[in-house]
Amino acid sequence: MTTMRKSLLIAAALTLSTLGGCVTLSMNPLYEADDVVAEPVLAGLWGDGQSTDSWQFLPRGDGSYELIIREEDTLRVDPERDAVFTVHLVAIGDGLFLDLFPEEPSLGDDFYKCHIVPAHSFWSVLLEGNVMTIRAMDSSEVYRGIEDGRIEIEHVMRDETAFLTAPTPELQRFVVEHREEIFAEGERLIRLR
């Protein structure tokens, strides 16, 4: 990738960060081909049992999953409310992680779409039968760790948000070494279907 293209990607990601939540984003994936694992229990519809929001994992046959995050517990995709991601389940050390990468949005024209830069987000995951605990990488914890010198990783900063630019091997070392401090408190999801 050229330096100019990489700079444009980073600039676009930084612009988008002001619209997003508190999840740390990465320009590179967390996985190499050998790190991707299939776990049949992941496939299905998951939710917290209280709201109508859901996460549906559909195996794609190439080792990845399609993830549809819906605002309502339905089986239809509404592009104005729902989000679709390509997900890889990644085994690193003794941990399992989800690498989410957004599908191209269906809204907007081509000129608009070329200004949106997809980025990876990483989640720690624990699968126990019909219960899944997911923990998003917390941008405030990553920021504090970088600021106080506990965390060293290639990144660019925007306000108090770090966008990771490190290559995959460095990202893997980072999540294993700092797993307990950088992943937010867990959300428990239960299998709905």
- Return the structure tokens found at 44: 């299905």
**Average per-residue pLDDT in the chain?**
83
| Distance (Å, whole) CA 107 – CA 149 | 41
pLDDT at 173 over 90: yes
Say whether pTM exceeds 0.95: no
pLDDT value of position 4: 40
> Where does residue 42 rank: exposed (0-12), middle (13-18), buried (19+ CB within 10 A)?
buried
Query: Among 69-73, 75-79, 96-100, which is the least confidently predicted range?
Result: 75-79
**27: three-class secondary structure by DSSP:** coil
| Distance (Å, whole) CA 65 – CA 56 | 9
Quick check: 19 and 89 in contact, CB under 8 A? no
pLDDT value of position 50: 85
pLDDT at 135 over 60: yes
